[in-house]
Chain A
Amino acid sequence: MSSESSPHTEQIVLLLTRHQEPLFRYIFSLVACEADARDILQETSLALYRKFDAYDAARPFLPWAYRFAYLQVQKHREKAARSPLLFFSEDVMDLLAQDRERMEPELDQRLQLLDGCLGKLTPQDKELVTSRYAMRQGAEEMMQRFAMSRRTLFRNLELLRQRLHECVTRQLQSEGLS
């Protein structure tokens, strides 16, 4: 790589920056683990950079990038000899990836509504969200902070996310109705 950035480099960096979030979401939906998803996102970015010559600028970037991400997820799973049982098998991943591309417009719409639902959380739930997602506190730390057992903590997180999901679904339906 030359030290001076070529227009080519600028273009890919711009595209990658703009699409970090959807790429992360795509990868995350296949591995469901943040650390893995971040690693894979990096590997995908690198692969995209290397293969950027093959990119046809007339076509949308994301579907092209998703194919690389999918391959990187597969590679990552093969490397992760430690707990292969906690990865989806290839056929399930394939189904998920296909379904997800079909659902993407709806998923994007859901995310816009999610912000509003987050705003409606009770102070207790907000504290949970802040602690888990903003401060990235671990389970032990949260168990101490909220004086909860591990089971209760994860149960509460589950209920919280379930409420958010229901809130979004309701809003989606009411938008459709109104």
Chain B
Amino acid sequence: MNLESLIHAKLDGEITPELHAQLEVLLRDDWQARRLYLELADQQARLLQQPAVNTGRLKSSSVAGRTIRFRTSALIAAAAAIVLLALVVRPQPLAGTEASSNGVAMVSQTLDAEFAETTTRSGDTLIPGTIKLAKGLAQIEFFSGAAVLIEGKGMIEVISAWEARCVSGRFRVHVPPAAKGFLMHAPGMKLEDLGTEFALNVQDQNSAVHVFEGEVIAHTDQAPASLKEGMTLGQTSADFLPISELQSLVKQREARRFADWQEWSQQARTDPRLIAYYTFKHWPDDRWDRLINNFTEPRNPRRAGGAVGAQWTQGRWPEKEALEFKRPGDRVRLNLDGTYPALTLACWVKVDSVDKKYNSLLLTDGYESGEPHWQIHEDGSLMFSIIYRPDGDETGGRWNQIYYSKPVFTPDSLGRWHHIAVTYDNQSGEVIQYFDGREVGREVSELHQPGRPVVFGPCEIGNWGLPTSGHQFPIRNLNGAIDEFAISGAVLDPSEISTLFQAGKPE
């Protein structure tokens, strides 16, 4: 993260202790960093206090006041245009057609969790109903702010954002001040939370509660009792659930998965079929901060990429970096030499939104014979295309071979890491598309003729660089992040694609 992003994360209260430590180092060493911080902090303080803002009565933007003269370089003008473009094309939530959800909570973390009767996963939104955990650990975060950790065999009924019922199992409940008043039912008692942390064991219709911090009002068949820190009500044979468990286990698992992937990746990059292999490793000593190294072994630095606009962000695991594509200008420039009889494109991508007609994955500049284009179509399907236009043809006839998978990017799969891949063989003409290691499309185009080569040349990841003449500048940037991208000059078979997925899946 760069200095600016660190400062903004700090101002938004969205900073982790690790990043906070980074920010401190920068501020300690550099007075210019402190200056920027102080300016932005002061601006934030003003926004929080500003009467014009506070009353919600911002003046309309037409007020020009006086003419201000200042020199603007073409670069700044271009940057401003891109920013403006970003604002113009940002999808507007329309009144009346706004998407809605009746969710009241979400599953924020899981560890080896198996849910009975449902296929709940981490990140899922929960509507009122009963959640049965068969094994593992799961953390449920209510939209009120309350969080419940369930361990092992357990059942909880989610009633609303402010109310739940523990039916059986071991629970740990955290209620921040904002969720004060959260109501937890359990057999024989009702616990009203005054901002606290407590554990609850429910077994055979018997409840026991232990308060770790703060205060809980326990309503039983007796008079309401105030339970304070260290107090226990009821009998239990099991230990109360310690909170450190889920976080530390999740961290351990992430570290393990990352290490496993690294080990696998060291081996995979020696595959001679690879044309280029980008792991999006951020080089702290790259002074321009824009290098997207090609990690194929033996090394071929000529095929390294250059990031434009796109910013570094977290990848599949906390230690793994990724590149985030957000603005219409964001992209990674590549130049891949050679001609090939086939191809495989494979990448790990987190798509935040499919908000354009075409959302770029990898496209060659322009669209000449033998050049592949790989995109996500507006309906959420993967779209691979390759064109073979006879020399001198200007008629724009049907030369474009287009292949769609079934839709894979749906609200459920957005915002999560997925592995996608496509293979193309210039003999059989067969295109196979994959999502998380499984086949989601297989087709031969009626336009196929065997033996025509595949070429790349100048191309880019996450955007479409130089459209053919006569077109307006189309907005095709990906809205999401990519943290691994492999390009091969041969077809990887289904079992190999499945291995790519298994070796790299986040959990």
Contact = CB atoms under 8 A, between A and B. Distances in A.
B214 to A, nearest CB: 12
A15 interface: no
B12 A154 contact: yes
A32 to B, nearest CB: 5
A78 B353 CA distance: 43
A99 interface: yes
A92 interface: yes
Contact of A147 (B5, B13, B20, B98): B98
A119 B11 CA distance: 22
B129 to A, nearest CB: 20
Given A28-B41, A116-B65, A129 B34 contact: no
Contacts of B20: 85-86
A62 interface: no
A21 B61 contact: no
Given A96-B34, A107-B38, A122 B87 contact: yes
Residues of B contacting A: mostly = helix
Contacts of B31: 99
A36 to B, nearest CB: 10
A105 B446 CA distance: 72
Size bracket, chain B contacts:
35 or more
Interface stretch (A44-52, A65-73, A162-170): A162-170
A149 interface: yes
Interface in A60-105: 83, 85-86, 88-89, 91-92, 95-96, 99-100, 103
Contacts of B49: 21, 24-25
Interface in A128-178: 129-130, 132-135, 138, 140, 144-147, 149, 151-152, 154-155, 157-159, 161-165, 168, 170-171, 173-174, 177-178
A17 B498 CA distance: 67
A135 to B, nearest CB: 7
B336 to A, nearest CB: 30
A100 B393 CA distance: 67
Given A91-B28, A129-B58, A130-B56, A110 B415 contact: no
B4 A134 contact: no
B15 A25 contact: no
B8 A162 contact: yes
Contact of B27 (A95, A123, A132, A157): A95
B58 A118 contact: yes
A85 B58 contact: no
Nearest to B72: A170
A125 interface: yes
24 contacts: A29-B37, A32-B41, A83-B17, A92-B27, A96-B34, A99-B38, A103-B35, A110-B42, A118-B58, A118-B59, A120-B63, A123-B61, A126-B58, A129-B58, A130-B56, A130-B58, A134-B55, A146-B93, A151-B313, A158-B4, A162-B4, A164-B43, A173-B70, A178-B68
Given A32-B11, A120-B63, 7 more contacts: A92-B28, A103-B38, A118-B53, A119-B60, A144-B101, A152-B326, A162-B4
In the A-B complex, the 5 residue pairs with the smallest Cβ-Cβ separation, listed nearest first, are A85-B17, A174-B70, A158-B8, A28-B45, A134-B56
Interface of A: 21, 24-25, 28-29, 32-34, 37, 83, 85-86, 88-89, 91-92, 95-96, 99-100, 103, 107, 110-111, 114-116, 118-126, 129-130, 132-135, 138, 140, 144-147, 149, 151-152, 154-155, 157-159, 161-165, 168, 170-171, 173-174, 177-178
